[in-house]
Amino acid sequence: MNDQVRKITLPQHASILLLVLVGAGVAFKDYRAREQAAMEPEALGVADDDVLSQPTIPPVPLTVRVDDRKVRLGERLYHDPRLSHDDTISCATCHDLKRGGTDQVPTSTGIGGVLGPINSPTTYNSGFLFSQFWDGRARDLAEQAAGPVHNPKEMGSAWPEVIQKLSKDAPYVRAFAEIYPDGIRGDNIADAIAEYEKSLITPNSRFDRFLRGDARALSADEKDGYRLFKEFGCISCHQGVALGGNMYQTLGTMEDYFTQRDESEADHGRFNVTKREWNRHQFKVPSLRNIERSFPYLHDGSAKTLEDVLEVMWKSQLGRSIRPEESIKIVKFLKTLNGTYRGEPL
């Protein structure tokens, strides 16, 4: 196992669970105290409330530093089906930028119509995540880019086959030679794709504008949704610039999510990487950026709507039910996380 991943993972097992339970418990107690004081959500102030005036989430940066030559090459590779064995599947097939960086289906289909075991996460803002794949088996974007190429249920190819195809394409040969002294190699292909994916940032959501000081960017209901998001402890796991993607968490901390089904290998989550029992059912916390566009939700794609996934989170992670008025406002807040890509709204 990679030393870097080990350093990240081992201290988190106990501390993350404690953080979530304590954070959620304190938040839940505080929220109920407000209720008992007859403070209806509509009556709460939204301009100077500490929950709103002290944001703990940074906005998506307006720019990131990337190598433009690699980005251009990586963009072409990302959309090239020749990376697959039968020339039918590209990175963009499962990570369609016009569909929130996903394919908007529960689990993806690879070469030969083979149905994959897990939901495709978005590639938007993936450069902000501390590891890649739901189980974190790739330490960075370059390592992730190589995975689907070699997976028999996805692209079903290998670097020698891909290199042979691309070497017959003169523009590719020139582009690689200009950037990489050793030309078309597997690690260079992965590096270029990774650089392109680093560029897939989505700044300027209404929530970002709010974080930068525009109090009018969110409505009163959306601000209340953000408050509830914090008060219930959602922010304990969905934190950082991507609102997720910087820790692993067990799905079913309060109620077993997997009791009513036969578990698949994909359901084992982080356990498949570490083989440690306490990692069973742990998954990388997904980013909430552009969450309205990247449906369906969860690693198995079982939650079709934002309302559905909130029901699962409240039941499995908080051990309670969510009230309709709470759900409505949190969903309204989540929809403010839709950003822009290359100046166009997602």
Alpha-carbon distance 93 to 111, whole Å?
A: 11
- The answer, yes or no, to whether residue 46 has pLDDT greater than 50, is no
> What mean pLDDT value characterizes the chain?
88
Report the largest interatomic distance among the alpha carbons of the chain, rounded to a whole angstrom: 72
* Predicted local confidence at residue 12, as pLDDT: 42
Which one from 75, 154, 231, 326 is the annotated catalytic residue?
Answer: 154
DSSP assignment of 276-302 equals -GGGTTEEEPPP-TTGGGS-SBSTT--
Q: Which domain holds residue 177?
A: 68-198
Partners of residue 109 on adjacent β-strands: 115
Catalytic, 154? Answer: yes
In this structure, the answer to whether residues 226 and 313 fall within a common structural domain is yes
Bigger pLDDT: 77 vs 36 = 77
In this structure, the answer to whether residues 158 and 140 fall within a common structural domain is yes
In the chain, the amino acid numbered 78 is Y
* Predicted local confidence at residue 230, as pLDDT: 95
The domain boundary, picked from 151, 182, 198, lies at: 198
Alpha-carbon distance 211 to 232, whole Å?
A: 20
Q: pTM for the full model?
A: 0.85
Q: How would you label 137-165 residue by residue, b for 16+ Cβ within 10 Å and e otherwise?
A: bbbbbbbbbbebbeeebbbbbebebbbeb
The domain boundary, picked from 198, 221, 254, lies at: 198
The model's pLDDT over 85-134, given as tens digits with 9 standing for 90+, comes to 999 999 999 999 999 999 999 999 999 999 999 999 999 999 999 999 99
Q: Is 175 exposed, middle or buried (0-12, 13-18, 19+ CB in 10 A)?
A: buried
* Predicted local confidence at residue 298, as pLDDT: 98
Number of domains in the chain: 2
* Predicted local confidence at residue 56, as pLDDT: 77
In this structure, the answer to whether residues 134 and 52 fall within a common structural domain is no
The model's pLDDT over 53-69, given as tens digits with 9 standing for 90+, comes to 555 799 999 999 999 99
Which helix (H) or strand (E) element contains residue 36? helix 12-36
Average pLDDT (243-261) is: 94
